[in-house]
């Protein structure tokens, strides 16, 4: 950390604070949505948070032509002001304004990530260090943010968690304003070329079984994430007044993800053992989460679920990185980002149109389908490796 240059430190400080606010406000927004006494509003919170990701693959066209620092700065300022403004909106009133303001904040946020990644690539010798520290800071920020939100709620006001998120964005903007990088505009592809790149990513997914399996894994997990997020307020009711439970469950995201990341090397890649652990954990943990009336069991189920999701995410990314040409990977991940945002939104709406047993049955079918497809792909992977080794011998 001490070896980092000032620009890298400012970026890391700002992002750590911003991420902390994100996971402090997520359960707070789910709590506020319950005051509308209409579960479509709760699903709407998840949808407006996720659906802007659909457009993210095409935003690199704009980001490469504009000053990335200014994009990050103004995005954080806009988000900070809107979240502070949300605290003045009466609870349970004006649901369309509530969702519209959230859509603006999360919609502007999709400009931030491409700009941040571009800035990180300009940090020269600090690139590896900042990426490693950013990954660690993400997990810690989720845990600390959820804990901070819980304390605000215990202090008597869920709005404080929303205000805290707004403040973290404004503080992040202050750190970003101190980053000194010379802006060099890049004449990137136009909109037509961006769509062509997107189509090339789709073509690679269709023709490469390994990449197709990675995509299948990512959209399956996105559906599961949407379902679990939508059930946070319901599961939280099993703990007293229920509201603090949302923060505890959000804490489980970071804790489970931390354990899942540590288990990746032990469970292995492209083998049936890891696949079996992932499948069993996903189904069993989700069933417990949806059906148990005991909050302590729900917490354990949530941790197990997020362990499986972290493992699956790493597996899917590595499968793309190992089995697709480097020049096409960005396009594949662009398609993945758009699909993930769409599938989280779809998963979050199941609760409004399907009963819990039907949702669970649907998830079992999808996850079992993923299990069978992955098993076939793993077999192909081993056969390909064996052929490569035999050629090496001769």
Tell me, what CATH number does 136's domain have? 1.20.1250.20
Pick the closest to residue 121 from 204, 223, 29, 8 (CA basis). Answer: 8
Do the domain assignments include residue 184?
Answer: no
Both 49 and 170 in a single domain?
A: yes
Whether residues 220 and 326 fall in one domain: yes
Residues 137 and 277 in one domain: no
List the domain range (segments joined by +) for residue 201.
Answer: 189-394
pLDDT class of 393 with cuts at 50, 70, 90 = very low
Residues 333 and 381 in one domain: yes
Distances (CA, A) of 166 to 81, 83, 91, 97, 161: 6, 5, 18, 17, 9
In this structure, are 149 and 285 located in the same domain?
A: no
Say if 202 falls within a structural domain: yes
One domain for residues 76 and 138: yes
pLDDT tens for 212-262 read 898 999 999 999 999 999 999 899 988 876 678 888 898 888 888 888 877
> pTM for this structure?
0.80
For the segment 181-223, what is each residue's pLDDT rounded down to a tens digit? Answer: 776 555 555 556 666 666 777 777 888 888 889 899 999 999 9
Q: Same domain for 155 and 220?
A: no
Last residue of a domain, one of 155, 179, 203: 179
Q: Cα dist. 335→56, 76, 306 in Å? A: 9, 26, 23
Confidence of residue 12 (pLDDT cuts 50, 70, 90): confident
Q: Are residues 146 and 287 in the same domain?
A: no
Considering the domain architecture, whether residues 253 and 154 belong to the same structural domain is answered as no
Question: Contact at 8 Å (CB) between 45 and 30?
Answer: yes
Answer yes or no: do 116 and 228 share one domain: no
**201 and 123 in one domain?**
no
* Most confident segment among 168-172, 183-187, 377-381: 168-172
Look at the chain and report how many structural domains it folds into.
Answer: 2
Q: Indicate if 112 and 197 belong to the same structural domain.
A: no
């Amino acid at each position: 950390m001490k070896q980092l240059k000032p620009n890298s430190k400012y970026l890391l400080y700002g992002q750590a604070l911003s991420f902390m606010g994100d996971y402090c406000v997520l359960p707070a927004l789910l709590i506020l949505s319950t005051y509308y006494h209409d579960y479509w509003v709760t699903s709407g919170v998840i949808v407006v948070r996720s659906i802007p990701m659909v457009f993210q693959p095409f935003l690199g066209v704009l980001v490469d032509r504009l000053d990335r620092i200014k994009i990050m700065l103004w995005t954080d300022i806009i988000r900070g002001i809107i979240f502070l403004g949300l605290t003045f909106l009466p609870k349970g009133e004006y649901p369309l304004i509530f969702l519209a303001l959230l859509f603006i904040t999360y919609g502007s946020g999709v400009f931030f990530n491409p700009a941040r990644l571009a800035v990180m690539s300009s940090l020269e010798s600090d690139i590896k260090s900042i990426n490693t520290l950013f990954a660690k800071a993400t997990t810690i920020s989720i845990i600390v943010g959820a804990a901070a939100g819980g304390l605000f709620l215990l202090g008597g006001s869920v709005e404080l968690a929303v205000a805290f998120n707004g403040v973290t964005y404004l503080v992040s903007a202050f750190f970003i304003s101190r980053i000194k990088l010379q802006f060099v505009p890049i004449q990137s592809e136009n909109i037509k070329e961006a769509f062509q790149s997107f189509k090339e990513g789709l073509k690679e997914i269709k023709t490469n079984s390994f990449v197709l399996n990675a995509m299948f894994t990512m959209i399956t997990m996105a559906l599961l994430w949407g379902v679990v997020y939508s059930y946070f307020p319901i599961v939280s009711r099993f703990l007293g007044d229920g509201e603090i439970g949302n923060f505890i469950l959000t804490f489980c995201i970071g804790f489970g993800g931390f354990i899942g990341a540590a288990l990746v090397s032990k469970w292995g890649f492209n083998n049936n053992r890891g696949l079996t652990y992932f499948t069993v954990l996903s189904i069993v943990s989700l069933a417990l989460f949806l059906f148990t009336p005991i909050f302590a069991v729900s917490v354990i189920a949530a941790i197990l679920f997020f362990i499986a999701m972290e493992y699956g995410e790493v597996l899917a990314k590595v499968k793309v990185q190992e089995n697709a040409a480097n020049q096409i990977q960005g396009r594949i991940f662009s398609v993945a980002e758009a699909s993930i945002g769409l599938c989280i939104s779809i998963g979050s709406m199941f609760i409004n149109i399907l009963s819990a047993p039907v949702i669970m049955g649907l998830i079992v079918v999808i996850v079992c389908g993923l299990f069978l497809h992955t098993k076939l792909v793993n077999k192909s992977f081993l056969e390909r490796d064996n052929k490569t080794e035999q050629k090496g011998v001769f």
